[in-house]
Structure 1
Amino acid sequence: MPRRRTPKKRFLSPDPVYDSRLIHMIVNRLMKKGKKSLAYKLIYQSMQQIAEVTQQDPVKLIEHAVRNATPLVEVKARRVGGSTYQVPIEVDPDRGTALAIRWILSSCRNRSGKNMISKLTNEFIDCSKSIGNAIRKRDEIHKMAEANKAFAKYRF
């Protein structure tokens, strides 16, 4: 963390096909070893499958899925007087979106299935229906924050 000033927030350009910043964020998190064209291919084929299966706009479905997986609170470890407390803290919207994307993609990678396209498609559809591993992860974080609500006074 910088000591002098906080760096300026960089804004992503929207993706070329759907003109959505969220899709571009997902592509950047999906990409491994700088292979962005492969990540674009995976996400676009997944979006075609979503459109075929659900008969809905895939961008809106993905936005809904990410919104469902976004946490409202998280816990942060704080040392007070020699003991460590898990303090619940409200999540900034940008960080919440980043966490949701990270959880969705990690649950895609852990899912059993043939290829990444089908795993991405199924995870986005599950998250839009409020089921799946990313939603379970969000619920665990919320439960942990609820259990440690007494330590909210150590928030700064």
Structure 2
Amino acid sequence: MRKTKKKNKIYFPDPKFNDSLVTRFVNHLMKNGKKNIAYKIFYNAMKKIDLIKEKEDKTALEIWKEGLKNVMPHVEVRSRRMGGSNIQVPIPISSNSKITKAMKLLISCAFIRNEKTMSNKLAFEIWDAFKEQGEAVKRKENIHKMAEANKAFSHFRF
């Protein structure tokens, strides 16, 4: 084989929820190596979700995981040069890549919201993702629509 398999990175569990997925999310949220600030933003967002949930029996962490699952894309389109033109080829995404794309979508959509603090932005974006609305879910649906529109080229997979 020409390509070697990529080693899966091991993430240590976070101090509060004891979950390695939270650490992974915080690593994507972190800017300029300031992990403590990223943890603070995430934990404040979880507190805010606890306050805004109405009649939900789930905890804030379960709501976050459900929202992450709702934002997760299952296919993506990649450009491939065929003849003289570029075509968009839909390709299924690996499970590890799905999680990464969902986290990045959630964070980028939270960043452009109009709330005051980043923890509020993140909390409301997670809540919208849990309710299957909001910008992150729209972007996921756009990715799926692009893949559906280019379904005819799916036999050109890499």
- Name the TM-score, length of structure 1 as normaliser: 0.94
* Per-residue Cα deviation, 1:39-62 (whole angstroms, up to 9, x for no partner): 001101110111122153011001
> 1:23 maps to what in 2?
22
* Per-residue Cα deviation, 1:23-75 (whole angstroms, up to 9, x for no partner): 11111011000000000011011101111221530110010000000001110
Cα distance in 2 for partners of 1:5, 1:109 equals 35
Q: Structure 1: 5+ residue runs without aligned partners? A: none
1:1-156 equivalent positions in 2, closer than 5 A: 4-54=3-53, 56-156=58-158
Which amino acid in structure 2 is aligned with residue 133 of structure 1? E
Percent identity between matched residues is 38
Cα distance in 2 for partners of 1:19, 1:82 equals 52
Cα distance in 2 for partners of 1:57, 1:66 equals 14
Cα distance in 2 for partners of 1:83, 1:151 equals 13
- Name the TM-score, length of structure 2 as normaliser: 0.93
3-state SS, counterpart of residue 108 of structure 1: helix
- List, as ranges, runs of 4+ consecutive aligned residues in structure 1 with deviation greater than 6 Å: none
Q: CA RMSD in A?
A: 1.2
Q: Structure 2: 5+ residue runs without aligned partners? A: none
Cα distance in 2 for partners of 1:71, 1:120 equals 19
Q: How many residues align?
A: 154
3-state SS, counterpart of residue 86 of structure 2: strand
